């Protein structure tokens, strides 16, 4: 059975787009007359996600006004952080609502790939987390990764490695089994 739950991280201030995000959160910025987050939900829905939890903080009331509680046969919940908790804090803040496995996506990123490949790799390799990586030519010092000689993923050494991979903003997590 496939995982059908996805957390959408939508609590950030969108500071790099401050002129626009001063009035509206980044995931709600309209593209072709629809908020960006609708395209994200539609894509994830097409891949079998039916339980969406949108984690918000900045301008939370706008999400409640613009996001329906249902999309076709999927449910959409909005959880507001009272104070900004960051990615891990937002996930922990929603833990009572989480299934045994779930996806996490950035609310301002769109990767057009099969999320089931990420799920498959985690489940068939006894991992607890999977991260979708993308190639980049960006030379800024974002957190980058590379595969070492034993094919283990490591943080990049900026001075020695030209193969640049960064987190694409899509994760798959499964809860640890309690002993």
Share of the chain above pLDDT 70, in %: 81
Fold annotation for 5-174: Spore Coat Polysaccharide Biosynthesis Protein SpsA; Chain A (3.90.550)
Poorest-confidence range of 16-25, 26-35, 39-48, 106-115?
16-25
Q: What's the pLDDT tens digit per position in 108-151? A: 888 888 999 999 988 888 788 888 878 777 666 555 555 566 66
Neighbours of 75 (CB within 10 A): 12
Taking the domains of the chain in order of start, what are their residue ranges? Answer: 5-174
Please give the structure tokens belonging to residue 142: 């974002």
Higher pLDDT, 151 or 4: 4
pLDDT at 172 over 50: yes
Residues 120, 53: Cα–Cα separation, whole Å:
22
Q: State residue 159's pLDDT score.
A: 45
Is residue 74 helix, strand or coil? Answer: strand
């Amino acid at each position: 059975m496939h995982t059908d739950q996805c957390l959408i991280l939508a609590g950030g201030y969108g500071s790099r787009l401050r002129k626009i995000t001063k009035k509206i959160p980044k995931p709600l910025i309209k593209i072709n007359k629809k908020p960006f987050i609708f395209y994200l939900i539609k894509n994830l829905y097409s891949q079998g996600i039916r339980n969406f939890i949108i984690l918000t903080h900045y301008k939370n009331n706008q999400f409640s006004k613009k996001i329906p509680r249902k999309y076709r046969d999927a449910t959409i919940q909005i959880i507001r952080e009272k104070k900004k908790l960051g990615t891990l804090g937002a996930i922990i803040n929603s833990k009572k609502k989480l299934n045994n496995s779930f996806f996490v996506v950035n609310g301002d990123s769109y990767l057009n790939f099969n999320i089931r490949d990420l799920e498959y790799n985690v489940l068939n390799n006894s991992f607890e987390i999977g991260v979708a990586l993308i190639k980049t030519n960006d030379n800024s010092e974002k957190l980058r990764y590379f595969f070492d000689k034993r094919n283990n993923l490591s943080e990049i050494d900026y001075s020695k490695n030209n193969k640049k991979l960064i987190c694409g903003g899509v994760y798959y997590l499964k809860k640890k089994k309690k002993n």
